[in-house]
Amino acid sequence: MGGRKLLKIDHNEPYLDVVWQVSNFCNYKCSYCNPGNYCGESRNDDNLITYINNLEVITDKYLELGYKNFKFFFSGGEPTLWRNLIPIIEWLREKLPNTVVAVNTNFSRPLSWWKRHYHLFDDVVASFHVEYADKDKYLENAKFMCDKLNYFSCKMLMHEERFWEVAEFGNKIKEELPNYFIEWTPLFDEMSANAGPWEYKDPNKTQFLKEHSIDQQFTIPKPYLKKPFYSEAYWDNGEKTGVYSNEVILERQNFFKGWECSIGDSIWINQIGQVSMGTCGQVKVLGNILWDTLDIGPKKIICQKEHCHCGTDILIPKRKVIDIVKE
Ligand code: SF4
Ligand code: SF4
């Protein structure tokens, strides 16, 4: 694979990827989190009808241009506490049947909540935050969810002082769950107020993280649904492969200045409803999910940035302009 050059990234079928930080309210206040993610200044619990009307305006623009598929990834704050979450997902399920729904949750909702709503989700990332999580409740929920979804991940946030307690709890999950997918996750700079990666003081902790990234086991059936839509990479040696952002970065093929990028395939809605595209800053805020959707729709631009570094940005369809001229 050495030396090959990337020619194009495309989706196997057109789809719109929406990442939505629904609020900045969380019932936890993890010490490694930025207060802007839990303070609750923007709970956004009202305006359900406006959200739905505006979502319809936006998604209709994509449908008209042949996009049948959508992916919504809800985060926060804690998205399961957002009053509009379930009605909006129910609307998505009815109006846009080809929608993948994913959520990143602290898993603090009780088992009864997950029993009522698990069928609405395709992917659940259950983050374990040792300072606040109720371990028994987390384990009970995880046992229920482990055979219900295609993708259910226990994301263990490796707290500096309580590192080994988190490791012990992760091992308990491994002992008690017939299916598990555990991500041992070092604290990221994005979760702290400081820039730069989290440096663990104890070298044993760094060593543990070097040796453990993901642990998985599947011994009882789960849905195993085929991934309906995804990104594909076209290479100059004729290969067509799945897109693994890390691989693209390692092969130094993430330089797209002058390429045509379908940046409108990736929408970001922030905690105050502002809508932008991609994370690279090439398209600034275009509107607001509550009051300004005019400019939000499929969009292509010529990339002016040297370096495309975010995993989700790399997945966006893009191609060399020279190939467009040839066609
Ligand atoms: S890290 Fe997650 S669970 Fe913890 S306070 Fe922040 S948003 Fe809440
Ligand atoms: S940096 Fe932005 S515009 Fe350029 S290829 Fe990446 S996502 Fe597209």
Tell me the per-residue pLDDT of 104-131, one tens digit each, with 9 for 90 and over. 999 999 999 999 999 999 999 999 999 9
Nearest ligand 2 atom, CA 281: 2
Domain assignment present for 145: yes
Ligand 1 near 29 CB (within 6 A):
yes
| Residue 1 covered by a domain | no
In this structure, which amino acid lies at residue 199?
A: E
Query: Which atom number of ligand 1 is nearest to the Cα of residue 34?
Result: 6
Nearest CA owner, ligand 2 atom 8: 261
Q: Can you give the pLDDT of all 327 residues of the chain as single tens digits?
A: 558 999 999 999 999 999 999 999 999 999 999 999 999 999 999 999 999 999 999 999 999 999 999 999 999 999 999 999 999 999 999 999 999 999 999 999 999 999 999 999 999 999 999 999 999 999 999 999 999 998 999 999 999 999 999 999 999 999 999 999 999 988 875 554 444 567 888 999 999 988 988 899 999 998 877 778 899 999 999 999 999 887 888 889 999 999 999 999 999 999 999 999 999 999 989 999 999 999 999 999 999 999 998 888 999 999 988 655 555
- Helix H, strand E, coil C: the string for the chain is CCCCCEEEEEECCCEEEEEEECCCECCCCCCCCCHHHCECCCCCCCCHHHHHHHHHHHHHHHHHCCCCEEEEEEECCCHHHCCCHHHHHHHHHHHCCCEEEEEEECCCCCHHHHHHHHHHCCEEEEEECCCCCCHHHHHHHHHHHCCCCCEEEEEEEECCCCHHHHHHHHHHHHHHCCEEEEEEEECCHHHCCCCCCCCCCCHHHHHHHHHCCEEEEECCCCCCCCCCCCEEEEECCCCEEECCHHHHHHCCCCCCCCCEECHHHEEEECCCCEEEECCCCCEEEEEECCCECCCCCCCCEECCCCCCCCHHHHCCCEECHHHHHHC
User: Residues 12-26: pLDDT tens digits?
Assistant: 999 999 999 999 999
Residue 232 belongs to domain spanning? 6-326
In ligand 2, which atom is closest to the CA atom of 263? 8
The count of domains in the chain is 1
Residue 245 lies in a domain: yes
Ligand 2 centroid distance, CA of 9 (Å): 12
37 lines ligand 1 (CB under 6 A): yes
Q: Is residue 47 assigned to a domain?
A: yes
- Is there an atom of ligand 2 within 6 Å of 303 CB? yes
**Residue 286 domain flag:** yes
204: phi then psi, degrees, rounded to nearest 5: -65, -35
* Shortest-distance Cα residue to atom 6 of ligand 2: 308
What does the pLDDT read at residue 303? 96
Beta carbon of 183 within 6 Å of any ligand 1 atom: no
Q: How far is the CA of 179 from the centre of ligand 1 (A)?
A: 25
- The reply to whether 243 falls in a domain is yes
Give the residue, by CA position, lying nearest to ligand 1 atom 4: 30
Atom of ligand 1 nearest to the CA of 157: 1
Residue 143 falls within a domain, yes or no?
yes
CATH number at 219 reads: 3.20.20
Q: Is 121 exposed, middle or buried (0-12, 13-18, 19+ CB in 10 A)?
A: buried
Please indicate, yes or no, if residue 119 is contained in any of the structural domains: yes
* Cα 263 from Cα 177, distance rounded (Å): 40
Asked whether the bond before 77 is cis by omega within 30 degrees of 0, the reply is yes
